[in-house]
Amino acid sequence: MRLIIIGLLVSFHSVGFTAKMSDEASEKMERLFACGADTENGFNGWMIHGLDENVNTYFDFNQLEFYTHEGGFYQVSITKKLDQMVGFSDLSIQTAIAESNNCNIENITAQVSADGKEWVYLQENLLHESALLCSNKMNFQFLKLSSNISFSRNGRVRVGAVKVYGSTTYHKLKLKSLNETQESEMSNSHQNTQEDFHFFSHDKQLHIETQSDDAYLLEIYNSKGLKVKKSIGLGSERFDVSHLQDGIYFVVIKQKNKAMITKKVAF
């Protein structure tokens, strides 16, 4: 049996930062989805693209098989919507080739998408590799695995399993970094700055009270560390936050591009 482990890497500019993943690391993540051998699900629901009438496809509870009597070169992809990935900033995707006869798998790639239309390309030629995808995004719902396969006569490939793991380690680290950065900036500002601004929420409005005559920048971040509001203030003001869902938010007051005060507020 030939086992091929597929992992995901992603460059910092596209989604997040990259990190190698060990088997021990995957065990610490929550299993979000699994199908194939030694799992509770079959390969039903996967969409297959890139084949023609010369290639037969067989679905089995334990595996997905492609077989061709004629042979040929094909760019094959399988896609599935996995709502289980939503809410996780770190993802690990693994699959196993249970068997391959009279064919050559040139490469395997992986992509994820939030809407099934715009895809984030993760890594080329993922054979024999395993990696951790760390992202600041938590809305991926679609997974696509693609491969270039050269079949000889009576060529056969059997996909044995696909497994998806998730965690929120990156998300937690990002929030911690954000808090530490804001606290550091606050400690370097004037000691009486925090006394200059007072704010509270009431009826989906954020009330800012200050005796300062200088303009200030108001920024609000949600619990995922994403900016959800940005406004310019001058003196005591009220800011509408009715578009925000109920929850805990970070409110940041900035002057001269420096964070002067940061507090948690419940809306």
Per the structure, the count of domains in the chain is 2
If asked whether residues 116 and 236 sit together in one domain, one would say: no
End residue of a domain, out of 139, 167, 195: 167
Question: By residue range, what is the domain housing residue 203?
Answer: 172-266
Question: Which residues, 6 or more positions from 102, have their beta carbon under 8 angstroms from its beta carbon?
Answer: 71, 151, 152, 153, 154, 155, 156
If asked whether residues 145 and 217 sit together in one domain, one would say: no
If one compares 125 and 114, the residue with the highest pLDDT of the two is 114
Cβ atoms of 147 and 107 within 8 Å: the answer is yes
Q: pLDDT digits over 172-204, tens only? A: 666 666 566 555 554 554 444 455 778 788 878
CA distance 248 to 230: 17
Burial 54-82 (b: 16+ CB within 10 A, else e): ebeeeeeeebbbbbbeebbebebbbbbeb
Cβ atoms of 252 and 235 within 8 Å: the answer is no
Q: pLDDT digits over 3-45, tens only? A: 333 333 332 223 333 333 344 445 678 899 999 988 888 898 8
Cβ atoms of 15 and 136 within 8 Å: the answer is yes
Segment 108-113 mean pLDDT:
83
